[in-house]
Amino acid sequence: MTVETAVFDEGSLRGGSLRYLNLFRLIMAAVFSVFGTTLGLGQEAPVWFVGVSIGYLLLVLGLGFPDAVRHIGLDRLITLQVLVDILALACLMGLSGGYRSGLPMLMMVVLAGAGLVGEGRMVLFYAAVATLAVLVETVSRAVGRHGEGDFFAVGVICIGFFGVAVAGRLLGIRALSNASLAAERGRALNKQQAINDRIIQDMNDGVLVLDGEGRVRQSNPQARALVGEGLAEQIRLRDLAPIVAEGVTASARAGGQRVWVRSGRLLRCRALSAGAEGDTLVYLEDFDEIQRQTQQVKLAALGRLTASMAHEIRNPLSAVTHAADLLKEERRGEMQARLIRIIHDNARRIDGLVKDVLALGKRDAALAEAIPLGPFLTDLIDELSLQEAAGQQVFRLDIPLGLTFAVDRTHLHQIAANLLTNARRYCSGAPGSVHVHGEILGEGGVVLHVEDDGPGVAAEDVHSVFEPFFTTHSKGIGLGLYVARELADANGAILELKRSDRGAHFCLTGRQQP
């Protein structure tokens, strides 16, 4: 939606008025040349009258071409044309019986036009020249062979010249002032409209304007993202998204109340009347996104709470672990050993929960560095192999030589350890059943793949694997993948689950250099 306004140009405005004045001159000169004698003009010297009329017509044509303004200049051209008009009309008046011929009235029209297009005090000069020309003709008629002259009537006409010229100039100034004001307001409106359009384009909510027949007149990018990329002007909303169209109708009937619709995602729709022409203004809110933002806020508050609790948990946890070690040293039977094992398992589980919670609190303290992936993953696999009975043979590592990943070292250790531990937990255990490989993307990008040959992620769990406290393992706490994705996001990387024909396939995408 744009508002077109012409930039105010005083020269263009005067030039446009001059074209109409030239048209009047052309018609006047043509009438004198063709019908002058028929109208009773030039009776004192018909041949001279026709000659002067034709000469006047040729001058009007010559000075009326657009190139004349470029070669002569607008102000000089106006002065030259007005002087030609005055002298030609004065000559024709002298050949037609003087001021009684009515030609001084045409001089007033010329002076009025000159006042509209003229500059400054030049209009008074034009009136003075016309007055002088009429007085000279009248005096020559009075002292010449005619012996007549009504100087009172001529004086009134000359006063009229000045009045018409001044009035025309005042009207011209008023017209220029109004045009300047209109152009200024147009620019201000255009600027405000541009700001409004920018705000609408950047809104998080979708905005639609529909006409009376339900056709789209305007939409912003968010509306196209919510309704569909096929959304375009003049398309019927009902043809593209019938469910959304029903929601618009229901909201409009309810007086603009919000209506819930499910069109691929959960939307909140509100329709308002946008004018007397039957247009409808529609707001679309992505409630799924609102829910995600709300969840992030809740999780942030939960993170702050659990971070403070984590420090308090670790102290008694250390005491429990120490007591279990002492109990183990006493060696008082098989039941005691089983209890000791339960204590250790749960203590490790609580300690893992504390570590994950504390990692969330450190997500904003990322210090990225270019880490060589090959040596880093080799050391990490050695470390994991020492912690559990499974050996290194389950891992198959294919990392290009010299490939680096720009990430905080501690964060990468936790992300990769979580992915490798999960892959080893669900793989078949055969040699090479966990394939870890990297590839280089364009413009300095890098991707780390972790694939296993296990059962993979169930279709109903695909959208839940990164949610906090979601787990399918009996001893899992459900924070591993959630923390891994949060740490990846803190480093400007993306952790996602890819579709795979066998097992699970996780991808960590980032850059090679910080």
Q: Please classify residue 384 by burial: count the beta carbons closer than 10 Å to its beta carbon, then call 0-12 exposed, 13-18 middle and 19+ buried.
A: middle
Edge-to-edge strands, sheet with 265-273: 216-219, 206-210, 280-286, 265-273, 259-263
AA letter at 286: D
**Whole-number pLDDT of residue 276:** 58
144, 94 in Cβ contact below 8 A?
Answer: no
User: Hunting for tokens 């002492």 — which residue is that?
Assistant: 326
What three-state secondary structure class fits 371? strand
374 near 381, Cβ under 8 Å?
no
Each residue's pLDDT tens digit, 133-149: 888 887 877 776 555 55
User: For position 449, what pLDDT does the model report?
Assistant: 93
Q: Which residues in the chain come in under a pLDDT of 70?
A: 1-16, 69, 120, 144-149, 263-264, 275-276, 291, 294-295, 298-316, 319, 323-324, 326-339, 342, 345-346, 349, 352-353, 355-366, 387-391, 474-478
Tens digits of per-residue pLDDT, 452-500?
988 888 888 887 788 777 777 766 666 778 888 888 888 888 899 888 8
User: Which amino acid is located at 469 in the chain?
Assistant: F
In 3D space, the residue among 24, 61, 21, 8 whose CA is nearest the CA of residue 168 turns out to be 21
For the entire predicted model, the pTM comes to 0.41
Q: What is the secondary structure of 78-105 as a DSSP string?
A: HHHHHHHHHHHHHHHHHTTTGGGGSHHH
Return the pLDDT at 331. 59
**Burial bucket for residue 131 (CB in 10 Å: 0-12, 13-18, 19+):** buried
Token readout for 157 is 């006409």
Which pLDDT belongs to residue 373?
A: 92
pLDDT at 365: 59
- The pLDDT of residue 259: 80
